Structure 1
């Protein structure tokens, strides 16, 4: 029995993560329902690669959508291969459009769920709180938030993060007040509301968002309707047979289309720019995940008396050692030197993993990089340690020299005192005193 471990449900979808949704879709399309179970573990540490989605088969773990698809193909002897009947041209399209969807859709999802501050505060963060256990519900969402902002920083849409804008403005205002650049009678100013900030940034974001959404939705819409042949009842590469591309598309684009967010700019862009694509994702989502909305309670505590479209199995409850390990890892990742050692260890582990998806040369290069980084880190620590020892030795030697000098000075003073005392006694004796 294969175990598919994923991030838990959110927004009525079986997972909050696009890659997890794509993997679930592939399993429902390719693998018999009695051959696998779906576990909303929502804990990347269950996998040796510290990633979700991850498939467990006995002692074997495989993570990431592409690696899992390859493993299922090999494990089943080609029986669970959705791409088995693709021709050479379709295989090329499959690879190209799969890379295209992953590269273009993930930044938009990051912007929609994490960078758009109101969506993150009122929908994304509470969604994670519903599927995570303590203390992960306080640790993981900020990490994902920070990572998403870093991945999308190059797009120049940080103005979607209204809270960050307001915080920056407050810091700049406080600095100006402290420096005396603002007269005291102007210090008190009304605080901008979220609505007013959104109005000021909407025009700045509009053209960039329009371009980014058009770059992904229009080519996919054209692919579904190419050659002037309506394919809204078929799939990307065939009329009656889904492929891994369809599973990947429904995973990523469901996260773009389905969530009912406070600022649904991504949802609205998809519906307006790609109506055929929207209908296709809606239909395929129902085929893969079922008609009924999926709630966290359904996934975390499935009942045998409640029929479901997916083979849910309850995740294991975290033990006290597991909670302790989580807290320790969080402290370690917040400690600079310890964090660097752990990062190098993860890079080396990924480079040496058979499921990394890297070529032999890439694995070798990454492994050498991790080894060299570790050596540089050890050398840096040794250099700093030697400097500290030298400083302490110098301070001790200076202190010892000072003490010796004081001792010698005290001895000289004592000798002078004794000489003076003797001379005084001799003088008084000569006077007959």
Structure 2
């Protein structure tokens, strides 16, 4: 049976716009025979039961994310498709450590470069997603990915890269100053800043922080490659796939503000050359049209994704509506977490699985309690309003009846004929 690898579609001259997808594609290119798998640019997380890409489909079995897919391929092929099979115990431990290091540190920098940096997101990243997504996902998914990247990087304190947040904060400061009477009402706002200006004249603390973050990633990897063809020796391993997957998105995209690529080329020239060499080896030349036309001349085994049906379009709209509703959003997130924990590919120990299950159950009870509280409060409010309205109406009715009984119109006194005639 041919394996189906579902990924986010191509962009930036790469076979995918997502680092995990790129790493998984690299692994398949190096480990799995080309006639044993197809690459599907579905660009729709809902195709997988876990709502994640990359996702591997083998019959009725679905496996998501790079590490889980690698483990599945090793078991499925009985070790034949395991790039790490020849590593020693020491090299395997080092490989795992550096893999975790790359996934955590590189993802934060890619979030900052492709999503948080406003000029890069609106001019390159968002159009790249728009080119591979079908309606209505092209209007739904990019803002969700943008918001998620901003949330993940918020603790880094580099909000100056986000011009929207900076502009909103400036407007709030301006409104506060006007309200306090410190500046006149007709104060003319300054023109909108650019990322270059912000990085050039804003806080030097942000510049130092960016330099520290990029140095923390690139310098150790540059040292790891010293005198080696590959990080783990003379043959590629799963670490190579993660490196080429994540760092290709740092090196290849032509961005309006390429601060991440400039930093990589300046601090890690050997690493930059290595990524470029590996990229050509595992991806080849990428054309967006190949992904949607099952291009036979491509170096990757593309298979055209299915067109969206009316049912899938309706599901996308309903899912977006549910994810925008506070209580429904919490319920859906809790259900997804429970499904991920119960999945046989979760990779959790028995103790970890039990702890997370208890947490999920507690979250579910809290959500139900919140729903019950809201429903009870609304019911009490409606009951109070109905009771008050009925009681007031009854009182008003009694008051009107009493007034009508007390009111007796004055009857004219009897008059003589002479009085009536005016004599």
With structure 1 as the length reference, what TM-score do the two structures score?
Answer: 0.89
Counterpart in 2 of 1:77? 78
1:188 deviation in Å? Answer: 1.9
Pick the aligned partner of 1:299 from 259, 269, 291.
291
Counterpart in 2 of 1:253? 247
Helix, strand or coil at the partner of 1:364: helix
* Cα distance in 2, alignment partners of residues 408 and 138 from structure 1: 59
Pick the aligned partner of 1:237 from 232, 236, 255.
232
1:381 deviation in Å? Answer: 1.9
Q: Pairwise mapping of residues 254-403 of structure 1 onto structure 2 (< 5 A)?
A: 254-290=248-284, 292=285, 294-304=286-296, 307-403=297-393
Q: Would the aligned equivalents of 1:160 and 1:205 in 2 still touch at CA under 8 Å?
A: no
Counterpart in 2 of 1:431? none
Q: Would the aligned equivalents of 2:161 and 2:198 in 1 still touch at CA under 8 Å?
A: no
1:412 deviation in Å? Answer: 4.1
After the TM superposition, which of the residue ranges 337-346 and 139-148 deviates more from structure 2? 337-346
Q: Pairwise mapping of residues 6-405 of structure 1 onto structure 2 (< 5 A)?
A: 6-177=7-178, 180-184=181-185, 187-194=187-194, 195-201=196-202, 203-225=204-226, 230-231=227-228, 234-239=229-234, 241-290=235-284, 292=285, 294-304=286-296, 307-405=297-395
* Cα distance in 1, alignment partners of residues 345 and 307 from structure 2: 27
After the TM superposition, which of the residue ranges 167-176 and 39-48 deviates more from structure 2? 167-176
Q: Which runs of 5+ in 2 are unaligned?
A: 415-423
1:371 deviation in Å? Answer: 2.1
**CA offsets per residue over residues 187-234 of structure 1, 9 Å max, x none?**
124414425444323744321111111111111111111xxxx21xx2
* Cα distance in 2, alignment partners of residues 192 and 394 from structure 1: 51
Helix, strand or coil at the partner of 1:381: helix
C-alpha change, 1:132 and 1:412, in structure 2 (3 Å) is: closer
C-alpha change, 1:261 and 1:397, in structure 2 (3 Å) is: closer
Q: Would the aligned equivalents of 2:199 and 2:207 in 1 still touch at CA under 8 Å?
A: no
Helix, strand or coil at the partner of 2:254: coil
* Cα distance in 2, alignment partners of residues 161 and 59 from structure 1: 42
With structure 2 as the length reference, what TM-score do the two structures score?
Answer: 0.91
Q: Which runs of 5+ in 1 are unaligned?
A: 429-433
Task: Tell me the C-alpha RMSD between the 2 structures.
Answer: 2.1
1:284 deviation in Å? Answer: 1.2
Q: Would the aligned equivalents of 2:129 and 2:138 in 1 still touch at CA under 8 Å?
A: yes
Q: Would the aligned equivalents of 1:160 and 1:201 in 2 still touch at CA under 8 Å?
A: no
C-alpha change, 1:376 and 1:58, in structure 2 (3 Å) is: same
C-alpha change, 1:202 and 1:311, in structure 2 (3 Å) is: farther
After the TM superposition, which of the residue ranges 387-396 and 42-51 deviates more from structure 2? 387-396
